[in-house]
Amino acid sequence: EDQVTQSPEALRLQEGESSSLNCSYTVSGLRGLFWYRQDPGKGPEFLFTLYSAGEEKEKERLKATLTKKESFLHITAPKPEDSATYLCAVQAFRLGGGGSNYKLTFGKGTLLTVNP
Amino acid sequence: NAGVTQTPKFRILKIGQSMTLQCTQDMNHNYMYWYRQDPGMGLKLIYYSVGAGITDKGEVPNGYNVSRSTTEDFPLRLELAAPSQTSVYFCASSPDRINYGYTFGSGTRLTVV
């Protein structure tokens, strides 16, 4: 069974104070690891997909990295508008293929608060 | 470009009542999904569909039913609502490519009393 564990559950930063969020995963065969941002009362918004160990992707103040067991979301010089819940999800190779290969297993998320 | 549209946004049901959560997407995506999100529990897959006429169960399908008669629509039916079905429900869609993330709707907050 695929498992995704995110830490910490909550993180409070001062504006400009860089930090990282962790996503550790257990999956039989990784097709992709996804990061989403979720604002209160809204649906998750897609940020990145990572496919193989060593891969990195960047978007503004966010950089996602991937190893064989975990992914990090680095936040550089965060601003209050970066406050949100960040979700990590994995997509795995599954026997039988078809639609089951597109399913995502999500972690519980990290609630990030950036104070001005 | 509307993306994924869910209705209603909020609903209160009494135990034993039934209702349908509506989901429509205008991106011509073949793949559609229903997730529920409970506090501290993350998103759990209820049902998914790989195209019109094809649906399959996810992790937590009990108490729910789905249908997919068109590419655009993927309604979720709750029969005999129970308090355990109090949750926020999200519909999502994706194209037939692994490297594209899901597009989520804004959710339906359901309370069963």
Nearest CA distance, A28 vs chain B (angstrom): 17
> Could you give the CA distance from residue B24 to residue B71 in angstroms, rounded to a whole number?
9
**B46-93 pLDDT per residue, tens:** 999 999 999 999 999 999 999 999 999 999 999 899 999 999 999 999
Write down the pLDDT at residue A108: 96
Write down the pLDDT at residue A57: 96
Strands B42-51 and B31-38: antiparallel
Chain B residues in contact with A108 (beta carbon < 8 A)? 40-42
Chain B residues in contact with A98 (beta carbon < 8 A)? 50
**A9-56 pLDDT per residue, tens:** 999 999 999 999 999 999 888 889 999 999 999 999 999 999 999 999
Q: Which two tokens stand for residue A51?
A: 């496919």
- Please state the three-class secondary structure of chain A as a single string: CCEEEEECCEEEEECCCCEEEEEEEECCCEEEEEEEEECCCCCCEEEEEECCCCCEEEECCEEEEECCCEEEEEECCCCHHHCEEEEEEEEECCCCCHHHHHCCEECCCEEEEEEC
Closest CA to B2 of B23, B21, B20, B30: B23
CB atoms closer than 10 angstroms to residue A52: 10
Beta-carbon separation of B41 and A108 below 8 A: yes
Q: Apex CA B38: angle with CA B34 and CA B40, to 5°?
A: 130
Beta-carbon separation of B98 and A103 below 8 A: no
